[in-house]
Amino acid sequence: MKTSRIIFHIDMNCFFASCEMAENSDLIGKPVVVAHDDPLQRGIILSPNYEARKYGIKTTMKVKDAFLLCKDIIVIDPDMKLYSYYSNCFHHYLLTLTKKVEMASIDEAYVDMTNDLNGKNAIELAEEIQKHLLDTYKLPCSIGIAPNKFLAKMASDMKKPLGITVLRRREIDKLMWPLPITDMMGVGKKTAPKLMGIGINTIGQLANYNDFELLKKTIGTQNAISLIKLANGLDDSLVVYESHDMQSSVSNANTFDVDIFDEKIIKSTLKILCGTIAYRLDKIHSEAKTIGITIKYGDFHALNKSHRFDEGISSEEMIYSIAEELFDEYYQPGIGVRLISVYAQRVTPIQKENKQITIFDNMNEIEKEHELKKILTDVQKRFGSETIKKGYYPYEKKD
């Protein structure tokens, strides 16, 4: 009998603002926002505390708009060294409980506690974690407990601040399905309107949607398959942690010298990064079942998004297609980008198999593609990986 996994998702509440209040108790009970403050109040809010949120102030709102909702807000410039310090404290504490810790971002982590409860009840351990972080570092957190990462993440969002929520698959019809589709992890600002346009307004409606062909046409085949599975509580992705037994991930990043606002430059860089990921996967004869991007903005906040798939992916074109989709879905225009990163996770060796060629395949194209790939590989081996690349990178047309 297969043992059900026990996955924690630990989400630090209002992390940047909480770090500031941990350092300065005079801020407790007052509306605080972390943002770059300038005379014209054009800064974007990175983290409002709960006192500020009571006035309707939200992350990514401009400071000048926040002052219209509450004239008494306290604006604090971000201190990334401070936040990194507290994030490291958070991470190191979790590592005292188990080595199976995946830091999803500076303020959240997945923890696989399946074999590390040490005789404790999962809820008791969650309470212990929550109390330790609050007592030791004055940092509140919410914890979701579930049999997989997706449900754990959804659970941690259900009660904030200082919530602990258990979400089992048999309970998703009552606890998760009634939620609006915009609350579902993996459904972003571009996908949500498309889903609502075909009558999917809740997670339950997506889970039970019966016109799969229409769904594929609306959001794409891979996205449709992935989201349907997640809406039904199915997620086999592992907690990715440091392991010397295998290479579980491949990544590459580029840091710009200045904040970049031009999407064409960012996407050109994204293409190059995807090319290097594909090259590295090819070198180790592997494929990945998770492709993700990280965007770090000039105002210090970061975004980390990924898509998971049942089939392995290794081609340059497919990796870029997924990365570009994630970028278009979650990129926030008008904020300069300082770093862009692409990563491939759930990396496994490619199983050799002969592709069955059907009457629909064009033999000439197949042979040309095979010869092109062979020539490309030979040139890269002789003269270096950056010497030549497949020419699917679009160049801007000159009039």
Q: What is the pLDDT of residues 186-242, one digit of tens each?
A: 898 889 999 999 999 999 999 999 999 999 999 988 889 999 999 999 998 889 876
| Final residue before a domain boundary, out of 141, 167, 193 | 167
Report the chain's terminal Cα–Cα distance, integer Å: 66
**pLDDT band at 302; cut points 50, 70, 90:** confident
DSSP 28-96: TTS-EEE----TT--PBPSEE-HHHHTTT--TT-BHHHHHHH-TTPEEE---HHHHHHHHHHHHHHHHT
Note whether residue 203 is domain-resident: yes
b/e code 155-183 from CB counts within 10 Å (16+ = b): bbbbebeebbbbbeeeebeebbbebebbe
Looking up residue 269, the CATH number of its domain turns out to be 3.30.1490.100
Query: Residue 396 is which amino acid?
Result: E
221-231 vs 212-219: helix axis angle to the nearest 10? 120
Percentage of the chain modeled with pLDDT above 90 = 61
Minimum mean pLDDT among 75-89, 165-179, 308-322, 343-357: which range? 343-357
pTM higher than 0.75 for the full model?
Answer: no
Q: Are residues 95 and 32 in the same domain?
A: yes
Q: Please check the confidence at residue 177 and state whether its pLDDT lies above 90.
A: yes
Token match 């290097």: residue? 276
| Distance set, CA 109 to CA 90, 96, 184, 232, 366 (Å) | 9, 14, 18, 23, 44
Is 108 marked active-site?
Answer: yes
Give long-range contacts, CB 8 A cutoff, 24+ apart: 77-85: 77/34, 77/35, 77/36, 77/37, 78/16, 78/34, 78/35, 78/36, 78/46, 78/299, 78/300, 79/19, 79/20, 80/300, 82/19, 82/20, 82/23, 83/15, 83/16, 83/19, 83/107
**Residue 241 domain-assigned (yes or no):** no
Helix (H) or strand (E) holding 346: strand 337-349
Q: Which of 19-33, 166-180, 241-255 has the lowest mean pLDDT?
A: 241-255
Total domains, the chain: 4
Contact 21, 28 (CB under 8 A): yes
Cα atoms in the Cβ-side hemisphere of radius 13 Å centred on 51: 16
> Residue 399 falls within a domain, yes or no?
no
In the predicted model, what is the mean pLDDT of the chain? Answer: 86
One-letter amino acid at 173 equals D
pLDDT tier at 394, thresholds 50, 70, 90: very low
Q: Which band of pLDDT confidence, cut at 50, 70 and 90, is reported for residue 141?
A: very high
Write the CB contacts of 3 (distance below 8 Å, at least 6 apart in sequence).
114
Q: Within this chain, do residues 365 and 313 fall inside the same structural domain, yes or no?
A: no
- Is residue 160 located within the same domain as residue 211? no
Instruction: State how far the alpha carbon of 39 is from the alpha carbons of 63, 75, 322, 361, 377, in Å.
Output: 10, 12, 40, 63, 55
Convert the pLDDT of each residue in 237-277 to its tens digit: 889 876 544 457 888 999 888 889 999 999 999 999 999 99
Assess whether 92 and 158 both reside in one domain.
Answer: yes
Task: Write the CATH number for 215.
Answer: 1.10.150.20
Per-residue pLDDT at 88? 92
Pairing of strands 141-146, 164-166: parallel
Q: Which helix (H) or strand (E) element contains residue 309?
A: strand 302-313
pLDDT of residue 396: 38
Q: Quick one: which of 153, 232, 220 has its CA closest to 191?
A: 220
Same domain, residue pair 375 and 273: no
Given a cut of 60, is residue 356 above it in pLDDT?
no
Tokens encoding 65: 């708009």
- Decide: 57 and 45 in contact? Cβ < 8 Å: yes
CB atoms within 10 A of CB 382: 8
Q: How confident is the model at residue 352 (pLDDT cuts 50, 70, 90)?
A: low
368 burial via Cβ count (<10 Å: 0-12, 13-18, 19+): exposed
Q: Is the pLDDT of residue 155 over 60?
A: yes
Instruction: Give the per-residue pLDDT at 390.
Output: 46
- 139 and 5 both lie in a single domain: yes
Could you tell me if 265 and 131 lie in one domain?
no
Q: Please tell me the predicted confidence (pLDDT) of residue 27.
A: 97
pLDDT at 21 over 60: yes
Same domain as 111, residue 209? no
Tell whether 242 is covered by a domain: no
Catalytic residue among 108, 287, 316, 325: 108
Q: Which domain, by its residues, includes 32?
A: 1-167
Report the helix count and the strand count for the chain, using DSSP H and E: 14, 12
Q: Check whether 369 has a pLDDT greater than 80.
A: no
Phi-psi label, residue 28: left if phi above 0, alpha if psi -120 to 50, beta otherwise: beta
- Helix, strand, coil distribution of the chain in percent, nearest 5: 40, 20, 40
Which residue did the predictor score with more confidence, 97 or 309?
97
Instruction: Check residue 362 and give its pLDDT.
Output: 46
